[in-house]
Structure 1
Amino acid sequence: MTPITEVEGRRLALSNLEKVLYPATGTTKGEVLHYYALTATPLLAHLRNRPLSFLRYPDGPDGQLFFTKNPPPGTPSWVRVAEVPRSSRETGEQVVVDDLPSLMWAANLVVEFHTPQWQVDEPARADRMVLDLDPGPPATVVECCSVAVWLRERLAADGLEAYAKTSGSKGLHLLVPLEPTPSADVSAYARTLAVEAEAELAGLVVHRMTRALRPGKVFVDHSQNAAAKTTATPYTLRARSEPTVSAPVTWEEVEACGSPADLVFRHGDIEGRLGRYGDLLAPLFDPARAGSLP
């Protein structure tokens, strides 16, 4: 029988709580739901008012993966659904997770949360920029950290402040709060930074996605600033072999990173980090920190 629970007055059917989703650690679906409930306050701040894309893995990361922008079948009537542009001529509906019941409903589907750099009431006007630092083996997050430190200084020279989080996979994401700016302009600026990083850090950085160029180098992926693209939301679990999290990190941790293991955070690590640091990405919500492109 599927247990029914009540969350802030909404009745939810939570299914298969004992199912092991991460065999490497024995982590169950119930533990995943518990993690999302524990991190709801900062996670909701990053999800709120943004159209949500789902990567679903109902049978764990080794099972089938489903990526969708459409509201899943059976979406409750009380979950917010917004109409958003999908192209210059088309619109579509997407879920917007603004409250705890909606978060727990979505988490019960077993999801990675992915969001764009803009909010639903200002489509294609980014309030943040993202630079996704993706290492090509044998490079690791250690090399990403070296690139991140250079990018932080370069952004500071333009009056922009960067904050870091792990991707929850192999790399690092840099996030920059912006005054609302057309996504096309942010994309162009991000590409310029990536090209400049490749020129300055010869042999370490590439700005093009071409696989043949990437072994041993860090790909500075600027493309996720395009209005149609999304990035893993801070605090989301990832569909990896272990329950790793896209976790905010301090610049001290970035600068001190000497081994890939230094920046791997699992679901059990996050409550303690929140207790110690709070949300390291909270400055993204401070209008006084929002910069403008040069």
Structure 2
Amino acid sequence: MTVELDNIDKVFFPDSGLTKGDLADYYRRIAPMMLPHAKDRPVTLNRYPDGIDGVHFIQKAVEDHYPAWLDRVTVAKEDGELVQPLVNSADALVYLVGQGAIAFHVTLSRYDRPEHPDRLIFDLDPPDHGGDVDDFAPVVAAARAVRDALEAVDLTSFVMTSGSSGLHVTVPLDRSADFDTVREFAQAIAERVADAHPDEFTTAHAKNKRSGRLYLDTRRNAVNQTAVAPYSVRPKPGAPIATPLDWDELSDRDIGPRRYHVGNIFRRLAQRDCPWADIARRGQSASRALERLKARA
């Protein structure tokens, strides 16, 4: 199929001159790496029809003019139902870029079992030290502490730059547990990490209770909540990308949330296989891990 786009020369990222057409080309090229992480998950679009300096909005629902070939799914919500798009093909990614989408956020469960996630996420952003949020060392330290706490209950985790300000630590799950169990486990891990490092990390949601400590955020682990899809571009200067990493890359002094972008991601992938290539085959039981955690309390 050939997806025709209008205004392909419209500049979406003024700092680099990246156009809508350039962005569409990126998503078509990255699709083989990105789609395994996004397929069959309701997607929320971050749309910037006039580029990152223009008006923007979040969109969940399929619009009436979207073509019939674009996959979609009906999602239950508190006050009824919502029809959302799926990005199950490179053509879908390109078409939605044509609608002004820059970033793609997906649910932690697939549409066939929305109450049973196959991903658990810890969202780690820099602490606010009087307005200075550029120090990435606390984020790296938090990611390693979360990884170690997960390993203590025999869980393997993966790490990714968010492309925005922090890191995501992700645990692949086998979909045996529901969101209530997964959220209970994630919060218990976060509390264990915070208790072990009380001066560095906290589970306090209220900013005025954090006292400059990094917040171990587990709130994404809920029905219909989303996280940025691996290899999604973020609407930030330089077109940074949410990029899966190997754990040893956190030792790189140049690592940061926007280390990889549209301009260098394919050079990286030519030199190193995607660290998340087999994540879908690594599903683990959150219920058993929670039992192990309680037994060791």
TM-score normalized by the length of structure 2? 0.89
- Kept in 2: contact 1:36–1:104 (CA 8 A): yes
2:41–2:86: 8 Å Cα contact kept in structure 1? yes
Does structure 1 conserve the Cα–Cα contact (< 8 Å) formed by 2:163 and 2:257? no
How far 1:219 sits from its partner (Å)?
1.5
Structure 1: give runs of 5+ residues left out of the alignment: 1-8
Cα separation, partners in 2 of 1:50 and 1:261, compared to 1, 3 Å: closer
Other-structure match for 2:259: 264
| 1:90 aligned residue | 80
Count of aligned pairs: 281
Question: 2:295 is matched with which residue?
Answer: none
1:133-282, aligned counterparts within 5 Å?
133-137=124-128, 138-139=132-133, 140-180=135-175, 181-214=177-210, 216-254=212-250, 256-258=251-253, 261=256, 264-282=259-277
Offset of residue 141 of structure 1: 2.7
Report if the CA contact (8 A) 1:237-1:267 is conserved: yes
Deviates more, 1:223-232 or 1:59-68: 59-68
**Structure 2 CA distance, aligned partners of 1:81 and 1:14?**
20
Alpha-carbon separation, structure 2, partners of 1:229 and 1:261 = 25
1-side partners of 2:256 and 2:118: how far apart?
32
Q: Partner residue of 1:5? A: none
Q: Which has the higher strand share?
A: 1
Per the TM alignment, residue 200 of structure 1 is displaced from its structure 2 partner at its CA by 1.1
The verdict on how the C-alpha distance between 1:73 and 1:203 changes in structure 2, with shifts beyond 3 A counting, is farther
Q: How much has 1:61 moved relative to structure 2?
A: 1.9
Q: One-letter code of the match for 2:236?
A: R
Give the AA of the match of 2:126: P
RMSD over equivalenced CA pairs, Å: 1.8
CA distance in 1, matches of 2:48, 2:137: 29
Counterpart CA distance in 2 for 1:203 and 1:31 is 45
Q: Does 1:42 align with 2:37?
A: no
With over 3 angstroms needed to count, the CA separation of the structure-2 counterparts of 1:214 and 1:169, relative to structure 1, is: farther
AA partner of residue 105 (structure 1): Y
Consecutive unaligned residues in structure 2, runs of 5 or more: 290-297
The answer for the alignment partner of 2:21 in structure 1 is: 30
Task: Return the letter of the residue paired with 1:83.
Answer: T
- Secondary structure of the residue aligned to 1:225 is coil
Residue identity in the other structure for 1:222: T
Report how far residue 262 of structure 1 moved: 8.0
Task: Tell me, in whole angstroms, the C-alpha distance in 2 between the residues paired with 1:204 and 1:93.
Answer: 42
* Structure 2 equivalent of residue 4 of structure 1: none
Output the CA distance in 2 between the equivalents of 1:213 and 1:245: 31
| C-alpha distance in structure 1 between counterparts of 2:201 and 2:114, whole Å | 31
**How far 1:73 moved relative to its partner?**
4.0
SS of aligned partner of 2:146: helix
Q: CA deviation at 1:157?
A: 1.2
- Structure 1 length as normaliser, TM-score? 0.90
Is the partner of 1:124 in helix, strand or coil? coil
Q: Which residue of 1 aligns with 2:293?
A: none
